[in-house]
Amino acid sequence: MTYQTGLAALADPTRRAIFERLADGPRAVGELATELPVSRPAVSQHLKVLKAAGLVLDEAAGARRLYRVDPDGIDELRRYLDRFWSRTLTAYKVAVEQPRKEDA
Amino acid sequence: MSTPAQDTAVHVDVVVEAPIERAFTVFTEGFGRFKPREHNLLGGEEIAETVFEPRVGGHIYDRGVAGGECRWARVLAYDPPTRVVFSWDISPQWEIERDPSRTSEVEVRFIAETPDRTRVELEHRHLERHGTGWEGVRAGVASAEGWPLYLERFAQVVDD
């Protein structure tokens, strides 16, 4: 699993179109299906993938379910960098504790 | 609008079984040996080496196998073997940020616990300077090479 696979997944033009619409404001499945040349079941399937990836949130609004993007950029960045530095320092510990050539 | 300081910084510590001088040297000179692979802004080009210029005003940069070069940090403090501070000139969209007022900074402190054991404390602070990360959301979505935050999460989901 690499970065490239994730890139390919998000590069899906329909999924990106849906995501762009949600960046404009919350939408229900039916609204997305009306705005885009995509069937309702297909929209639902894409939303399911986006939601599983943590890209969008959903919430009940009366009888409808609205989808929106997560607006909290700093928290998002913090979570990412926290993971990034945790992994980096773990790898650093391995590197720094490797026996040196002169010790061998 | 104000945000508590701890909400705009990340802290990660590690204790390594090594003298402080070695801990400092490996972190700086050896950064390219252990940084995650996705830390690459060369547009797909493989990194040949990561260079850490050991002086205030120096840069940390990646050099690609095809000759590309990417300067992604400026060295702001260099006090071997106890402390190094560098800027993080990388936007939330994982692109080089050229406006210094929109960059965060990373401080790394090295503390000798014993002659052979060193505590390394890393703080990545002023994340708010990058903006919300969402101001460019539409532009980011429009460029497929953006979105490292989501790509990583996406990758994790796909991995599961």
Interface of B with A in 25-64 (CB under 8 A): 26-27, 30, 33-39
CB atoms within 10 A of CB B134: 18
Query: What is the distance between the alpha carbons of residues B16 and B72, in angstroms, rounded to a whole number?
Result: 26
Query: What is the distance between the alpha carbons of residues B106 and B118, in angstroms, rounded to a whole number?
Result: 19
Shortest Cα distance, chain B CAs vs residue A68, angstroms: 13
Question: What is the structure's pLDDT at A84?
Answer: 83
Question: What is the structure's pLDDT at A8?
Answer: 43
Whether B75 has a pLDDT exceeding 90, the answer reads yes
Instruction: For residue range A2-11, list pLDDT tens digits in order.
Output: 233 334 445 5
Instruction: For residue range A46-92, list pLDDT tens digits in order.
Output: 988 877 766 778 888 888 899 987 655 456 677 778 888 988 999 99
For the residues B88-101, what does the mean pLDDT come to?
A: 83
Question: What is the structure's pLDDT at B143?
Answer: 42
Question: What is the structure's pLDDT at A71?
Answer: 56
Q: Which of A20, A55, A85 sits opposite B122 (nearest CB)?
A: A85
Q: What is the value of pTM for the model shown? A: 0.64
Question: What is the structure's pLDDT at A66?
Answer: 93
Whether B30 has a pLDDT exceeding 60, the answer reads yes
Instruction: For residue range A20-52, list pLDDT tens digits in order.
Output: 788 777 899 999 999 999 999 999 999 888 777
**Interchain pair A80, B152: CB under 8 A:** yes
| HEC assignment per residue over B36-48 | CCCCCCCCCCCEE
Report the complex ipTM.
0.76
* Distant-in-sequence, close-in-space partners of B160: CB < 8 Å, separation ≥ 6: none
